[in-house]
Amino acid sequence: MSEFASIDWLALTVFAPLLGAVASFLAPRMAPQIGFASLTVTALCVVMLAAQVIAGGPVIVSLGGWGAPLGLDLRADGLGIVMLGMTMLVGLFVSLGALDSFSAAREGEENARMRLYFWPLWLLLLSGLNGAYVSTDIFNLYVMIEVIALAAIGLTVLTGRLEAMRAGLEYMFASMLGALLFLMAVGLAYLQAGRLDFAGLAAHAGEPAMMLAFALMLVGLALKTALFPLHFWLPRAHASASAPASALLSGLVLKASLYILLRFWVEIFGPGSLIGLTVGLMGTGAVIWGSVQALRTQRLKLLVAWSTVAQIGLICVAFALADTIGAQTAWQGAVLLMVAHAVAKAAMFLAAGRIAQETGHDRIADLDRTHLRPTLAQFAFALAAISLIGLPPSAGFAGKWLLMEGAMRAGAWIWVVVAMAGTLFSVAYLSRPLIGFLRFDRAPDPVGEHHGWAIADAPPLMLAFIAAISGLAAVQIIGVLDIGAPFGPFP
């Protein structure tokens, strides 16, 4: 055990996927095998790190032995472990899905291209994500979000189709602008504080340059998180990518910037309630607008993408409770909702991809006009919907419960109403495809019960199942989450 303890599992969570990406880029033909090997190793690192953290509290590594503020410190606390675990869980299953989506059995040059480039891009993305979750330095985070952004854009346009390219360019612009606002904020923070580590900056919170820096970061990260009204780039980008790419983009990539925002909020800036209220209102706008668009859209993947806008908005309600007595509960709820959304949305995109693959289209109105019913994929979609709506015993339910509890403890009933509205909206738009799955009187032929089952249904199904029952493990997740008190000691 002592030998294991001396290994830097923390740094390895970033390095393992990085070296895997290098190897998979060098040996394109072996990319899936290499990709899985490196994912497995990364998962092992995360597990070992989690064991360390659970046993002995937060792990901190001073890279190069210098220590902040001169050097860079990596840190894994409960919040980091939860995010890393979420990333690995979703990542592993989406990779399984990708194995089929880009399998060598499928014809076509485009598919060959996707098979070659999916793995290096995804492993580089993973490296950036893991790096963001363990970073404690704002400039280091800037570099990480650029790694994430470029890899994410690569994944967005992987299909090579024109609409994906256009959506990717729009995403690129939004993402670059977000990153540059962030960079300007880094500059202002250094101007004020002369250092970049979280702890050092926290001491300067409230000074004018830091306040402007925070405002810029808030906008930049909101842009990357697609928080209403800065969501304009998301639906097309997520809807036009290939299914595994959409799953990663919607499930994981958005969470990284949301996580950074959350981290800054509680650890560095601790802004006043007015900004919290603003973010909460933006979240409310997202819930309404995202839902309305999801109700109107004609395509299944667009519906799923718009639902992301709405769900992210709901999570952001937690920011409005940041300086109330319900803060800790609300933050816990927000993190649970993030995890729930990551798992469920990844499952949903994979399932939507499978449905489109089996039926040959993704028009919502025509889902019931065919005898082709990929029932397993549809079942996975429905299970994922349960979590997104927030019905028990899903993690989405647990998260929503805690969020509403936080709001109630704070006496802020308005956010309870928003959460309820979000739930009703999500029922309304998610029932559109579900009704399509279950309606039979317009199908031309008798509908077969077990039609269109394939081994590729397993990843979405398992993910959706995990999403649907993981609320029962909420208290364990929160137990891990609270290690190192990421949300601070609140009264």
- Of residues 36 through 95, those in contact with another protein by CB under 8 A are 61-66, 69-72
Residue from 84, 157, 268, 347 that binds another protein (CB under 8 A)? 157
The count of other CB atoms within 10 Å of the CB of residue 55 is 10
- How many chain residues touch another protein (CB under 8 A)? 108
Which span sits near another protein by CB under 8 A: 183-191, 245-253, 273-281, 344-352?
183-191
Q: Which of 5, 26, 55, 295 binds another protein (CB under 8 A)?
A: 26
Beta carbon nearer to another protein, 306 or 415: 415
485 is an interface residue for another protein by CB under 8 A: no
Task: Point out which residues pair with 61 in neighbouring strands.
Answer: 74
Site for another protein (CB under 8 A): which residue of 80, 85, 131, 484?
A: 131
User: Which residues have a Cβ under 8 Å from the Cβ of 384 and sit 6 or more positions away?
Assistant: 344, 345, 347, 348, 351, 460, 463, 464, 467, 468
Contacting another protein (CB under 8 A), which of 85, 235, 471, 484? Answer: 471
Residues 350-389 that bind another protein (CB under 8 A): 379, 386
Return the amino acid letter for 112: A
474 touches another protein by CB under 8 A:
yes
Q: Candidates 4-12, 231-239, 249-257, 299-307 — which segment interacts with another protein by CB under 8 A?
A: 4-12
Interacting positions 288-327 with another protein (CB under 8 A): none
The letter for the amino acid at 491 is: P
Binding mask 99-118 for another protein (x = CB under 8 A): ----------x---x--xx-
To the nearest whole angstrom, how small is the minimum distance from the Cβ of residue 90 to another protein? 20
Stretch that binds another protein, among 86-94, 175-183, 264-272, 314-322 (CB under 8 A): 175-183
- Stretch touching another protein by CB under 8 A, among 208-216, 244-252, 291-299, 348-356: 208-216
- In whole angstroms, how close is the CB of 404 to another protein at the nearest point? 6
- Measured from the CB atom, the residue of 40 and 431 that comes closer to another protein is 431
Is the Cβ of residue 95 or residue 394 nearer to another protein in the bound state? 394
CB of 185 to another protein, least distance (A): 9
* 55 vs 203 by CB, closer to another protein: 203
Give least dist CB 208 to another protein, A: 5
Among 84, 121, 346, 418, the residue binding another protein under the rule CB under 8 A is: 121
Which of 35, 78, 154, 484 is in the footprint of another protein by CB under 8 A? 154
Binding mask 438-457 for another protein (x = CB under 8 A): xxxx----xx-xx-------
409 touches another protein by CB under 8 A: yes
Piece of the chain touching another protein by CB under 8 A; list 43-51, 254-262, 272-280, 402-410: 402-410
